Chain A
Amino acid sequence: QSVLTQPPSASGTPGQRVTISCSGSSSNIGSNTVNWYQQLPGTAPKLLIYSNNQRPSGVPDRFSGSKSGTSASLAISGLQSEDEADYYCAAWDDSLNGHVVFGGGTKLTVL
Chain B
Amino acid sequence: QVQLQESGPGLVKPSQTLSLTCTVSGGSISSGDYYWSWIRQPPGKGLEWIGYIYYSGSTYYNPSLKSRVTISVDTSKNQFSLKLSSVTAADTAVYYCASEARDGYNEHDYWGQGTLVTVSS
Contacts and interface: CB of A to CB of B under 8 A. Distances in A.
Interface of A: 2, 32-33, 35, 37, 43-47, 50-51, 56, 88, 90-92, 96-105
A51 B46 contact: no
Q: Which of A2, A50, A98, A101 has the most chain B CB atoms inside 10 A of its CB?
A: A50
B63 A99 contact: yes
B9 to A, nearest CB: 20
B106 A92 contact: yes
Given A99-B51, A102-B48, 12 more contacts: A2-B46, A32-B106, A33-B104, A35-B105, A50-B105, A90-B47, A90-B106, A90-B108, A99-B62, A102-B47, A102-B49, A103-B46
B25 interface: no
Interface residues of B, number: 23
B49 A101 contact: yes
13 contacts: A32-B106, A33-B104, A33-B106, A44-B96, A45-B96, A47-B109, A90-B47, A92-B106, A96-B63, A99-B63, A100-B106, A102-B46, A104-B46
B107 A47 contact: yes
Contacts of B96: 44-45
A99 B105 contact: no
Interface string B72-102: 0000000000000000000000001000110
Interface in B7-58: 37, 46-49, 51
A100 B46 contact: no
Contacts of A51: 105, 107
B3 to A, nearest CB: 12
Contacts of B114: 44
